[in-house]
Chains A and B, each alone.
Chain A
Amino acid sequence: MIRSALSAALMLVFVLLAPRAEALDVQAETFTLANGMQVVVIPDHRAPVVTQMVWYRVGAADEPKGQAGIAHFLEHLMFKGTRKIPPGEFSKIIKKNGGEDNAFTAQDYTAYFQSIAKDRLALAMEMEADRMQNLKLTDADVLPERDVIGEERRSRIENDPASLMAEQINAALYTAHPYGKPIIGWMSEVEKLTRQNALDFYRTHYTPQNAILIVAGDVTADEVRPLAEKYYGVLANTANPPPRVRTPEPAPLAARRVSMSDPRVSVATLQRTYIAPSYRMAKGKPTAEALDLLAQVLGGGSTSRLYRSLVIDQKIATEAGAWYSGDALDTGSFGVYAVPPPGQEIAPLEAALDKALAELVEKGVTQAELTLAKNLLIAQTTYALDSSSQLARIFGQTLAIGGTLEDVTGWNERIEKVTLADVQAAAAEVLVLRGSVTSTLLPAPGAVQN
């Protein structure tokens, strides 16, 4: 009976990645369970193993005020046990079955995954489905884990000035939007998070209709479907997650500058980060694809414009590059950076960087640059096929922020179609000082450089 109900909701998508000269025949299939949980299967029969990922459409940017870090804290606590699984046993059971597991939290999503022999997929599914609804927490488990997160923050952030600087840049870039708050949370709030905070967040957001299951590896959709129905399809929706409405970022008015010096910094860095449209915001327009190409032309490695101009020709930098981060539910960001040679000032480097950017906005990129960049980005999708667990991440991330399989599989074709005018228009739209933070990370005053 369930089967026929399911068939109605079943949507099969046979996917051709990169439908160009390579003629790749990787197939991803998707269907939706009766409770609204989406399933994607990515077959890869090269090794007798599978990766299961469950993605929740909730992340740090969805946290209640005053509870920065609760999404990530809950991610840790999801390993603490249920009615069936004693505290701390989740990962041990996976290990005993020859598997590896972990999880991660981002601004827009939280994901849990296991890689394991294909005959243990049902076990991993049973356990993952169990903790979607039956999490059991006691202070005896929660409080030491909060200390662990304090140590994680000290390891990743407090002990590393570049990470501290990145937090300051984000806080300055977003005037109102919660992306300005670090995923791991500020220490002042992390230290006060409670068991109840975690349970409230769990009960609001962890429910089948808010989750996506991705299975990649030595399986077929026909094998996954009955298992997905058995373990996830039977779960009732226990929550109606609220719409993901975050405080919109107001139109930027002021160029911002942040500067930090620290005795632990030995090499100065100049960075500029711009607010940019994300793929989701620019849907239907070529802007996001153009920004990916722009980042490649401007700062993708040693053949890029910035590297050639600042490092090779002018010799006023030792490193230079650019990036675009467009996979977000709300805004994306675009950035450029450069490192001055030892003992040299930041100011002339910043002037040269500004000049290169102004020239780009004025004249755009060349056809040769665009062709080279397209070639490289499209080749990257072929390289991505080498790892089905990597493909699982790409699909999961896209779906978790409201995208579709076609957003992933049609990317090559959309990149191919971007024109010189598209790139120039995207550069003119994004490379605007009032939407940016210029940051300098410097050695402590008086410190001696080599």
Chain B
Amino acid sequence: MIRMLLAASFAWLLLVAAPAQAFTIKQVTSPGGISAWLVEDHTVPLISMNFSFKGGAAQDPANTQGLANFLTTMLDEGAGDLPSREFQTREQELAMRLSFNADADNFRGSFQTLSKNRDEAFAMLALALNKPRFDADPLERMRAQLLQGLEMDAQDPEAITSHAFMQQALGDHPYARNSDGTLEGVKAVTADDLRALHGRLFAREHLLISAVGDIDEKTLGALLDKTFSTLPEKSGMGDVPEMPSPKAASLTIVDRDIPQSIIQFGLPGIKRDDPDFIPAFVMNYVLGGGGFGSRLMEEVREKRGLSYSVWSDLYPLEQGGLIIGGAATRNEKAAETIDIIRQEIARLAAEGPTEQELADVKTFLTGSYALRFTSGRKTAAQLLGLQEQQLGIDYVDKRNGLVNAVTLADVKRVAERLLKDKPLLFTVTGRPVGVTASR
């Protein structure tokens, strides 16, 4: 009865939500040969640009773990003739925004400027990328902050769980490392180490750039040349060895005197270029992606009130992939929560989704895709991600079609491939009641 009323009242439910994209992506190549994807949009007097170099924290030398992350903090601590203080004062005068981050596989920059300060802000970016100083004083300042960050992480239940999980899953593979490094590694980093990494990493080969906002093709091209063309052509970065897949189920407990157990779980996953990636992506939204409506959210939170947050996600990397997820529950409910997660993974592996679940996930994924492009900053980040994943400049237009093409049989097959009788790992931090560690 209620269903009927609902259908009458909210009849538009039956429509398929698939709004068209409102922007055009141009492939721009500068006179000097630097390529970028550009969305030109003069609505707001701002320019957002994101870029990445291939190679990240997984290539940190064993004795200086944390080197790439260290470099992210040093590029605006003085460059060219401007020592730290002068550089940062100039950045502030221009009200520019510049930040860097390094994950396992990529070193990324994010840059925003007001249109009126465009040329000066790009010049500052060029200095930071081409001529960082690595002066001793700011270097020690950043080292102290990085070390304190690692000390805090070592006590943070979520960080503890996530690092322990990666070691449990991947052993001594570089992907198992904390990309922020180790205390020993950060203590050992020298200015020469940073200079050497800068020389290896910042190259035009593999450089990817996206720009969005108040700038035209010609102007961008000229600025790309001024910013990036003096970088060396060849990258000195290598490849990360292939990631091993976890072989056997296990459960690790990290003992901490906290009132709530932090639970992370995971399974072997797939890389972004796997032909099953899109069906797997859809499958994950049935299992635990996207919040309310996923099976884990229904069973763990909505029906039983066991956790505020419960989720799962695909975690594709350059050299392998995982499926990961998590929840957090009072210690006495940890065993029940883990059981439910196991059951739901097994149920999806055995039965796949229902027709209705698949249809609902598709309308969500296709309808909400446009929400990833609601600001220049978000759009620039999306377009960089598409380039890193080698998805092609027409992917934004093709993507909803790929999702809609996924059939029930596809998801059943992929659920069986990825979830059925696979080594399921759990890492639990806290004092979980009735949970036993196993290897």
Contact = CB atoms under 8 A, between A and B. Distances in A.
A117 B370 contact: yes
A266 B151 contact: yes
A15 interface: no
A277 interface: no
Contact of A144 (B17, B114, B183, B304): B304
A387 B95 contact: no
A145 B305 contact: yes
Contacts of B309: 155
Nearest to B368: A98
Contacts of A301: 88, 92
A72 B17 CA distance: 32
B305 A47 contact: no
A237 interface: no
A97 interface: yes
A154 B260 contact: yes
Q: Which of B9, B145, B154: most chain A CB closer than 10 A? A: B9
A380 B374 CA distance: 18
Interface in A326-344: 339, 341-342
A402 B385 CA distance: 42
Interface string B79-113: 00000110011001101010000000000000010
Contact of B145 (A98, A99, A146, A319): A319
A358 interface: no
B17 A97 contact: yes
A137 to B, nearest CB: 15
A375 B95 contact: yes
Interface residues of B, number: 86
B231 to A, nearest CB: 26
| Residue of B9, B257, B371 contacting most chain A CB atoms (<10 Å) | B371
Contact of B13 (A96, A159, A218): A96
Contact of B95 (A91, A117, A159, A376): A376
Given A95-B292, A148-B301, A155-B308, A100 B371 contact: yes
B2 interface: yes
A47 B22 contact: yes
A88 interface: yes
A14 B13 CA distance: 35
A219 to B, nearest CB: 13
Interface in B137-183: 137, 141, 144-145, 147-148, 151-152, 154-157, 183
B148 A339 contact: yes
A207 B93 CA distance: 47
B267 to A, nearest CB: 24
Given A96-B13, A144-B302, A301-B92, A387 B41 contact: no
Nearest to B149: A267
Contacts of A155: 260, 308-309, 328
B241 interface: no
B147 A450 contact: yes
Contacts of A66: none
Contacts of A380: 95
B48 A386 contact: yes
Residue of A100, A122, A263, A302 ringed by the most chain B CB atoms within 10 A:
A302
B148 A88 contact: no
Contacts of A267: 148, 151-152
Given A48-B19, A144-B302, A97 B147 contact: no
A29 interface: no
A177 interface: no
Contacts of B114: 22, 379, 382-383
Contacts of A150: 305, 330
A382 B257 CA distance: 46
Interface stretch (B200-208, B242-250, B359-367): B359-367
Contacts of B89: 303, 372
B44 A382 contact: yes
Contacts of B13: 93, 96-97, 123
Which of B9, B292, B309 counts the most chain A CB atoms within 10 A? B292
Nearest to B309: A155
Interface of B: 2-3, 5-6, 9-10, 12-13, 15, 17-23, 41, 43-46, 48, 84-85, 88-89, 92-93, 95, 97, 112, 114-116, 137, 141, 144-145, 147-148, 151-152, 154-157, 183, 256-260, 262, 290-293, 298, 301-309, 328-330, 360, 363-371, 373-378
Given A266-B155, A301-B92, 19 more contacts: A47-B370, A85-B6, A92-B292, A98-B19, A98-B365, A99-B17, A100-B371, A120-B367, A150-B305, A159-B258, A312-B84, A318-B145, A342-B144, A342-B148, A372-B89, A375-B93, A379-B114, A387-B377, A450-B147
